[in-house]
């Protein structure tokens, strides 16, 4: 997904986040419009932590509602339960550290500790400042601050927890989910790193010229290095699986200021172009004798949980297996690509998004996406479509929809079947009955064949 909350829900559960309402992101501390926070009883199938439906009159489509709390099987989730990675590994000691952003402002029943994690320190919010005073206002600040810079501080907490675990429970396997805030805004880096990148002779050669952003990446890179070094020092590196990935594409431009460059990819965070959804994934398998190599097949964050469970050789109950929409990546990790079945990847984003790359504020329409083989279909809910061959056009510059109508028709039907089977109606778009074409900044009225229920 092109945003952090649905991606994190997907990582934790092995299930496409949009299928249980995680299709948007919001500032948890500012979240005012869920049923629970306004004291209303949710009607029908709506959950307590779903957003109230409705769209402003300048939108011709009513956007989908969104869920802001992992369903826990309790009353406020109307019995709906999803299982976390910690619950999938009951023989492991599991800890969570960093950015949660899945608990409707730290609502009891939806916190990390309610889903099987031992909590070190966490904030149920999408961002945090990085400089002095860090963690003091977090939902769970955890142990005293060790470092003045957040990324360094979370790294120190991680190393301490691993060291303590090895000392106290050496025979028990562990899972540490470190959810860094870097490189999310606000843009704050250590002065020495900013100075280093400001003075580089090669600064800007590849479109990246923001020294603060570069400094944030450097601190994140140092964090991975420090944790890997600690694993080696403790003698457990060869018994540890490390998986590194991101939750969405880079924020290339914000408020007219260029932060980074996603080139050659089109788009950025909050957009379903490749710049918003294509991220790195690096896996180091415990004790692997295979040298590093590239895997060129598209995979999904849905695959993280099934993969880690398979690598841990855990047997999970059928209820959890039915929850998964992802596949184990073990065949790819073991260089057996023929044993990894090709499958479609689906993305559902039922919201109007600002096109921040344009330097002005037009809206990108709500849309759903199907990636099947080399082809990617973006079907906007107002009826327009785009088709790209990613094997030849990773920058999505050549729309093939007009020249390949049969492929468009086939993929659009496949996408519709998946969407209407897997996305509850409350989390999808519909015609906005409050639409007023005379409203300020009103978008054009809907025309033609709509791609809605």
Q: How far apart are CA 428 and CA 366, in angstroms?
A: 9
Q: What percent of the chain has pLDDT over 70?
A: 96
What is the token pair recorded at 401? Answer: 């929809």
Domain boundaries, the chain: 4-339, 345-431
Q: Determine if the pTM surpasses 0.85.
A: yes
What is the token pair recorded at 263? Answer: 């080139």
Q: How far apart are CA 380 and CA 347, in angstroms?
A: 12
The pLDDT of residue 307:
96
Q: What is the dihedral of CA 41, 46, 52, 56, to 10 degrees?
A: -140
Q: How far apart are CA 303 and CA 325, in angstroms?
A: 8
Average pLDDT (1-18) is 96
- Contact between 286 and 241 under an 8 Å Cβ cutoff? The reply is yes
Q: Where are the alpha helices (DSSP H) in 252-329?
A: 274-277, 304-311, 318-323
Average pLDDT (318-343) is 92
- pLDDT digit string (tens) for 131-145? 978 899 999 999 999
Within 8 A by CB and 6+ apart from 275, the residues are 249, 250, 252, 262, 265, 266, 267, 268, 269
Q: Is the pLDDT of residue 360 over 60?
A: no
- Which of 172-176, 350-354, 403-407 is predicted with the least confidence, judged by mean pLDDT? 350-354
CATH topology of domain 345-431: Arylsulfatase, C-terminal domain (3.30.1120)
Closest CA to 377 of 365, 386, 389, 366: 386
Q: How far apart are CA 79 and CA 311, in angstroms?
A: 31
Average pLDDT, the chain: 93
Q: Which residue has the tokens 């005379």?
A: 438
The pLDDT of residue 441:
87
> Number of C-alpha atoms within 13 angstroms, CB side, residue 368?
32
54 vs 355, more confident: 54
Average pLDDT (71-77) is 94
CATH architecture of 4-339: 3-Layer(aba) Sandwich (3.40)
Q: How far apart are CA 176 and CA 308, in angstroms?
A: 12
Q: Is the pLDDT of residue 116 over 70?
A: yes
**β-pair type (363-364, 93-99):** unpaired
**Rg from Cα positions in the chain:** 22
- pLDDT digit string (tens) for 175-211? 999 999 999 999 999 999 999 999 999 988 888 899 9
Within 8 A by CB and 6+ apart from 255, the residues are none
| One-character DSSP codes across 339-381 | GS----EEEEE-S-EE-GGGTS--EEPPEEEEEETTEEEEEET
What is the token pair recorded at 286? Answer: 């415990």
Q: How far apart are CA 408 and CA 414, in angstroms?
A: 10
Q: How far apart are CA 151 and CA 160, in angstroms?
A: 14
The pLDDT of residue 208:
86
């Amino acid at each position: 997904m092109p945003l952090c909350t649905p991606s994190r829900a997907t990582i934790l559960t092995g299930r496409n986040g949009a299928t249980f309402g995680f299709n948007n992101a919001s500032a948890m501390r500012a979240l005012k419009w869920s049923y629970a926070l306004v004291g209303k009883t949710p009607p029908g199938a709506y959950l307590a932590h779903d957003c109230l439906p409705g769209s402003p009159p300048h939108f011709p489509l009513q956007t989908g509602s969104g869920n802001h709390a992992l369903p826990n099987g309790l009353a406020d989730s109307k019995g709906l339960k999803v299982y976390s990675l910690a619950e999938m590994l009951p023989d492991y000691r599991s800890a969570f550290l960093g950015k949660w952003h899945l608990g409707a402002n730290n609502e009891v029943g939806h916190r990390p500790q309610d889903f099987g994690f031992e909590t070190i320190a966490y904030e149920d919010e999408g961002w945090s400042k990085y400089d002095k005073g860090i963690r003091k206002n977090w939902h769970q600040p955890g142990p005293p601050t060790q470092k003045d810079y957040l990324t360094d501080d979370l790294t120190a907490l991680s190393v301490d927890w691993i060291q303590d675990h090895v000392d106290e429970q050496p025979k028990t396997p562990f899972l540490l989910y470190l959810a860094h805030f870097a490189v999310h805004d606000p843009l704050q880096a250590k002065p020495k790193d900013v100075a280093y990148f400001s003075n580089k002779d090669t600064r800007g050669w590849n479109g990246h010229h923001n020294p603060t952003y570069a400094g944030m990446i450097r601190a994140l890179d140092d964090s991975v290095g420090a944790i890997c070094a600690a694993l080696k020092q403790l003698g457990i590196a060869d018994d540890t699986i490390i998986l590194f990935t991101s939750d969405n594409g880079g924020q290339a431009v914000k408020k007219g200021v260029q932060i980074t460059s996603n080139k050659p990819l089109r788009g950025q965070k909050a957009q379903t172009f490749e710049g918003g959804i294509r991220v790195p994934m690096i896996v180091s398998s415990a004790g692997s004798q295979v040298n590093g190599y590239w895997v060129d097949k598209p995979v999904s964050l849905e695959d993280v949980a099934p993969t880690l469970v398979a690598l841990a050789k855990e047997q999970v109950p059928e209820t959890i297996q039915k929850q998964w929409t992802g596949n184990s990546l073990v065949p790819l990790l073991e260089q057996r690509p023929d044993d990894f079945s090709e499958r479609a990847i689906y993305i559902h984003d039922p919201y109007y998004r600002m096109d921040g790359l344009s330097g002005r504020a037009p809206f990108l329409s709500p849309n759903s996406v199907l990636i099947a083989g080399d082809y990617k279909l973006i079907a906007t809910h107002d009826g327009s479509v785009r088709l790209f061959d990613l094997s030849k056009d990773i920058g999505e510059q050549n729309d093939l929809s007009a020249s390949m109508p049969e492929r468009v028709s086939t993929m659009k039907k496949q996408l519709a079947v998946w969407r209407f089977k897997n996305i509850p109606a409350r989390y999808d778009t519909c015609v906005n009955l409050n639409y007023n074409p005379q409203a300020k900044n009103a978008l054009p009225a809907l025309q033609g064949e709509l791609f809605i229920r």
